[in-house]
Amino acid sequence: MYFSDAHEVVLDEDDDWFDILLETDTQLFVDPFLIYSESSGIWASASDEIAEHFQRSFEVLAGHQGNASSLQYKKTVDLMLFPEPKEFGLGFVSKGNRGSGTGRGFAKRIVRSMAIAIERGLQDLHHFEELGLLVDKIGRDRISDIACNVLKARFITYTQDICVRHGIQMAEHEVQHAGFDTSRKRWAALTVMLPTNPLTEGPTLLVPKRFLRELPTLNSDDWCDYVEPSFRDDLNLDLNSRLRKEDIVALAQRHPDLVRQWSTDRESQPATPYDVDGDPAGLHDWQRLTEHIAVDRPIDIDDVGPGNLNTFIERMNESFRHYVEEEGGWALLRNDDTGLPKRETSIQLLYKGVVQSYCRAHGVRLDREVELGRGPVDFVFNSQSERVLLEVKKMKNGSYWNGLENQLISYMTSDQTNKGWFLAIRLTDSKTEKDRTRDLPERTRAAREASGMDVRSAWVDARPRISASNLENDGPQTLNSIDDPEFPEDGPS
């Protein structure tokens, strides 16, 4: 459900805000660099507010950076606490819309890096995203979280203005980091009027579309490209190797002057927001594009009870296959500008869009990217008494067979689940994908026999439809059975 659907809003040309999904986060991020360019309205001084917060933090820490037990050091840690701003519906999430934010342990890591920067002569942060280089494991999600926390009062005002204009009902909500006590130098929670997310009963905050990107303008890969040629010999790297994140952090901590030079140089280059309306990566519109499918192609199962969850998943996979192969869904798995296949995440989201309505209608719980100890499994289906795992892989993926023969099996073992599906997506006519299409049934059978688990597979033909005559025929275009009466769903689509 989108915010506009929940509140019955018809967007017009004056609506510059991002229409968030209410039940799960969208993998886009607020890029501070896109806010810095604002010169009017409520965002005009936003960059100053961010700079002031971190300058204040540096000033509190300066002179005490070597004493972690000092009051000033501890106060700086408090200033670096940024809870995950779940009101925005942005970022990475394993389940639902609750992410990690920056807890006290991570705040201490930030302050340690600030202390190193001070010792090496850096007395402030020209752009706080420089922390992404100076602190290990601070990525785009945490940079976005920090910006949303520091500017939360402005986002509250922005959201309230939208609600007044559209007549959206608001209610009182307590919001963390909604205010800052400058005299005591600490964050404050405030009770404010905001729209309610009907799925969580919590508050919702909206953000301008022009502030969103997939990666922040200042990111570790960009900085690595900026300085790596000068340091490759010093780091003893061969021409084909890439710096690890820990190497990047160590290099940045040794040369904060270069970090400052890099961030200053980037100020003269334009930052381009993500094209939300075009959604080239398929990160946002997947639900709207697929919500009709369960209505148009209902599954004839009255009750998903003991013993038939696998049958239910088989029929959902068939509906996904039909949508991709027969209703033009294959085009949504390719980039509009290049025609190249989209990332695996985009394919998984489109799959989720197709199956989630079926799951709701039949009382099946669907979870995506659930951590099972050895990594996140793509999908988990739960009925009354059964649990089935499902992995989605592009056939061109370098770890394709590992996904079937090791990864899925290890997830099933960790989860103590005996049932699993491997859904393969074919995107090209390459020899590799042709061979993998041919070998999938036998490799699935071998994985099932070796593990003793109920492992099943299917594949979906997402090759471009130039014309039917140009498509190579590798087999029937439905999820037909292979010659195995006990496990009939291993055949190609």
The alpha carbon of residue 103 and the mean position of all alpha carbons in its chain are separated, in whole angstroms, by 20
* Total of domains in the chain: 2
Torsion of CA 218, 43, 19, 29, to 10 degrees: 20
CA of 185: how far to CAs of 58, 140, 403, in Å?
A: 13, 26, 50
In a domain, 485, yes or no: no
| CA pair distance 319, 65, nearest whole angstrom | 59
CA 441 to chain centre: 32
- In one-letter notation, the amino acid at residue 323 is Y
151 and 249 together in one domain: yes
Same-domain status, 238 and 315: no
Its pTM stands at 0.79
* pLDDT at residue 124, as a whole number: 57
158/212 same-domain check: yes
Residue 130 belongs to some domain of the structure:
yes
Say how far apart CA 246 and CA 136 lie, in whole Å: 6
Is the domain of 209 the same as that of 358? no
Task: Check whether residue 380 and residue 438 sit in a common domain.
Answer: yes
- Answer yes or no: is 215 within a domain: yes
- Tell me: pLDDT of 141 over 50: yes
Domain boundary pick from 212, 237, 266: 266
Residues 309 and 450 in one domain: yes
Look up residue 67 and give its two tokens. Answer: 């004493």
Taking phi over 0 as left and psi of -120 to 50 as alpha, with beta for the rest, 149 belongs to alpha
Pick from 142, 135, 126, 144: which is nearest to 34 by CA? 144
Say if 131 falls within a structural domain. Answer: yes
Give, for 460, the enclosing helix (H) or strand (E): strand 454-461
Last residue in a domain, options 237, 266, 295: 266
pLDDT category, 297, cuts 50, 70, 90?
A: very high
Does a structural domain hold residue 409? yes
Q: Are residues 215 and 317 in the same domain?
A: no
| Cα angle for residues 115, 117, 122 (degrees, 5° grid) | 125
Beta strands in 290-442 (DSSP E): 365-371, 376-382, 387-394, 419-426
pLDDT in tens, 438-460: 999 999 999 999 999 999 999 99
Residue 483 inside a domain? The answer is no
Range of the domain at 454: 286-470
* 3-class secondary-structure state, position 2: strand
Query: Which pLDDT band, with edges at 50, 70 and 90, does 197 fall under?
Result: very high
Q: Please indicate, yes or no, whether residues 213 and 299 belong to a single structural domain of this protein.
A: no
Residues 108 and 181 placed together within one structural domain of the fold? yes
Mean pLDDT of 153-172: 97
Establish if 486 belongs to a structural domain.
no
Residue 487 belongs to a domain: no
The least confident of 120-124, 126-130, 214-218, 443-447 is 126-130
DSSP string, 156-218: HHHHHHHHHHHT---EEEEEEEEEEETTTTEEEEEEEEE-B-TTTSSB----BGGGEESS-SS
Are residue 349 and residue 412 in the same domain, yes or no?
Answer: yes
CATH number at residue 337: 3.40.91
Contact 421, 457 (CB under 8 A): yes
Distance CA 396, CA 432 (A): 7
pLDDT tens figures, 360-385: 999 999 998 888 766 788 999 999 88
Mean pLDDT for all residues in the chain: 82
- Kindly report each contact of residues 483-488 with a partner whose C-beta sits within 8 Å and lies 24 or more positions away, as own/partner: 484/445, 487/445, 487/448, 487/454, 487/456
On whether the CB atoms of residues 195 and 7 are closer than 8 A, the answer is: yes
Per-residue pLDDT at 260 exceeds 60: yes
> Is the pLDDT at 118 greater than 90, yes or no?
no
Domain end (from 266, 296, 325): 266
